[in-house]
Amino acid sequence: MQVRHYLEIVWRRAIIIVVTTIVTAAIVAVGTSMIPPTYEASAVLRVPTAAAGSSDWIDYDTMYTDRLLETYARIATSGPVLMQVAEELGLTQSLQVDANVIAGTELVRITAQSPDPVVARDGANVLAETLIAMRQEELAQGVETRVGTISDTAMFSLVVPAEIPNTPTQPRRSLNMALGILVGLAGGVALALVVENLDTTLYNPEMVRTTTDLPIFGLVPGRRRLFGSTRTVYNGASPHAQSFHQIAANLNAHLSRSGKTGSRRTLVVTSAEPKEGKSTVTANLAAAMADAGFRVVVVDADLRRPAQHEIFNASNDVGLSDLLMSDATLSSVLQKTGIPGIHLLASGSLSQHKGSGAVFKLLSSGKMQALLSKLGEMYDLTLIDTPALLPLADATGLVSNHAADVLLVVGRGQAHREDVEDVERQLETIGANCIGVVVNRAQRMGNQRTVRAYKHYMN
């Protein structure tokens, strides 16, 4: 489960990881291109092992030879020798060189580095020849002549002369780019985890479950947006419609357990923030309940941003606001919809009251209470589509004054943890009964499972 959780985070924050990796790789590429190339050439000297004895018996002094190898390796990198090589090559500064004894052999590798490959080659060869000349001078002066030595005139020899290198050894572009990509990936993943930790968006139903103690009545599959709004009533031959039938079954079970009948079968459908899909959920829940044999009336109490008349393709010339503000009769404002068993009470025209406290007063008025009681006598279920709870007090006034149950719609990938928690506290404060949660636009993996299960059932 933990692995899947982290994989979901990586997938969700893939853009951060990709951008971080690309930026890091680009910085490394630019930085590497600004580093001047360095060429390296190597020459190999052989230092014969010192031998002592006579023609009948020879003793090889390996310890002495090892010291001799180390001595000349140190001499090769000394300041005077390097200055002498630089003068011979016509350089303004000493050459960068290194001399190492090849373990277990009589060989010394002399390496020279330079931005110029020719200088690197010449430097290694000239330094090797300088050491050979120094050895010749020592032997000529009898420095190493010892009693019994039979090889006191042994000379250093250049075994492998340096050649012009074809490619630079520094910078290592491939290695630098590989390291840059790895560092970028690691940094991108770390940044993604930081952003994920700071982001309180609810990205899957499991996050909703851990945020609220309310039961989840159902998961509504997401739908790809094609041309603007996706508000619609889904037909019965779709996985979306089946998800609402499941929600309707859960709601029916709740109503049966609670024993609510008549005017008390009133359900407010709302959300924490706008555009979480509460209006679509209200309309489709009404369709599912009507399909189950309920007589349903949908009341559009979102007087500022009504949507139910668009979903049911009805008129909004008159409706709830006109009923509450005038002497209009209920029968004159109720509309039939294209779905049997569903009537609509649209929001009506309220342009002169937008932005004022009139909406709150209307929804919490005695006339609203009398209307809900009347609708409860006429229908098995009254579904009220209200504004989002956090931005406006409209829905709060309706719920607190008319003791209606509340169904909270949470838009996956849109709702935030703190908003859902605030709504729960707000509903608890006013004594509302929030019966459960519907997760709208459930994640794609859940959609695919729903589609597969539905196809298997239908086949």
Q: Quote the number of domains for the chain.
A: 2
Residue 432: which pLDDT band, with cuts at 50, 70 and 90? confident
- The verdict on 321 and 247 lying in the same domain is yes
Is position 28 within any domain? no
Residues 293, 373 within the same domain: yes
User: Within this chain, do residues 261 and 348 fall inside the same structural domain, yes or no?
Assistant: yes
Are 135 and 238 in the same domain? Answer: no
CATH number where 298 lies: 3.40.50.300
Out of 141-155, 248-262, 403-417, 444-458, which region has the weakest mean confidence (pLDDT)? Answer: 444-458
- Which ranges in 316-388 belong to alpha helices (H)? 320-325, 330-333, 358-363, 366-378
Are residue 63 and residue 117 in the same domain, yes or no? yes
Domain boundary among 160, 187, 220: 160
Q: Which of 118-132, 247-261, 374-388 has the lowest mean pLDDT?
A: 247-261
What one-character-per-residue DSSP string does 33-64 give? Answer: HHSPPBEEEEEEEE-PPEEEE-SS-EEEEHHH
Q: Which two tokens stand for residue 421?
A: 């928690």
For residues 215 and 133, state if they share a domain.
no
The verdict on 341 and 422 lying in the same domain is yes
Which runs of consecutive H residues, i.e. helices, occur in 292-365?
Answer: 308-311, 320-325, 330-333, 358-363
What Rg, from alpha-carbon coordinates, does the chain have?
43
Contact 379, 297 (CB under 8 A): yes
> Is 33 within the bounds of a domain?
no
Query: Across 85-99, 224-238, 350-364, 410-424, which has the greatest mean pLDDT?
Result: 410-424
Give the range among 68-72, 113-117, 316-320, 396-400 with minimum mean pLDDT.
396-400
39-46 and 50-53 as β-strands: parallel, antiparallel, unpaired?
A: unpaired
Check residue 311 and report its DSSP letter. Answer: H
- The pLDDT of 58-68, averaged and rounded, is 67
361 or 329, greater pLDDT: 329
**Do 141 and 286 share a domain, yes or no?**
no
pLDDT tens across 404-431, in order? 789 999 988 888 889 888 888 888 888 8
228: left (phi over 0), alpha (psi -120 to 50) or beta: left
Q: Decide if 92 is inside a domain.
A: yes
Residues above pLDDT 90, as percent of the chain? 27
pLDDT: which is higher, 113 or 204: 113
State whether 235 and 98 are in the same domain.
no
Q: Is the pLDDT of residue 189 over 60?
A: yes
Cα–Cα distances in Å, from 384 out to 206, 285, 302, 374? 27, 11, 9, 14
Helix ranges (DSSP H) in 292-411: 308-311, 320-325, 330-333, 358-363, 366-378, 394-402
Short-list 351, 265, 364, 241, CA closest to 306: 351
- For the ranges 257-261, 300-304, 317-321, which has the lowest average pLDDT? 257-261
Domain end: 102, 136, 160, which one?
160
Contact 379, 350 (CB under 8 A): no
Three-state secondary structure call for residue 381 = strand
Do 208 and 352 fall into the same domain?
yes
Same domain, 236 and 134: no
Residue 32 is assigned to a structural domain of this protein: no
Of the ranges 112-116, 350-354, 387-391, which one carries the lowest mean pLDDT score? 350-354
Structural domain contains residue 8? no
pLDDT at 231 over 70: no
Tell me, yes or no, whether 286 and 341 share the same domain. yes
Looking at residue 142, which CATH number applies to its domain? 3.30.70.1130
Residue with the larger pLDDT of the pair 239 and 393: 239
Q: What is the mean pLDDT of residues 321-348?
A: 90
Lowest average pLDDT, out of 180-184, 378-382, 385-389, goes to: 385-389
Q: Is the confidence at residue 52, as pLDDT, over 70?
A: no
Determine the structural domain holding residue 73 and report its residue range.
39-160
Inter-residue contact 286 to 343 (CB < 8 Å)? no
In a domain, 353, yes or no: yes
Does residue 23 lie within any of the structural domains?
no
Listed residues 102, 134, 160: the one ending a domain: 160
Q: Is residue 367 part of a domain?
A: yes
Nearest-CA neighbor of 213 among 428, 455, 443, 445? Answer: 428
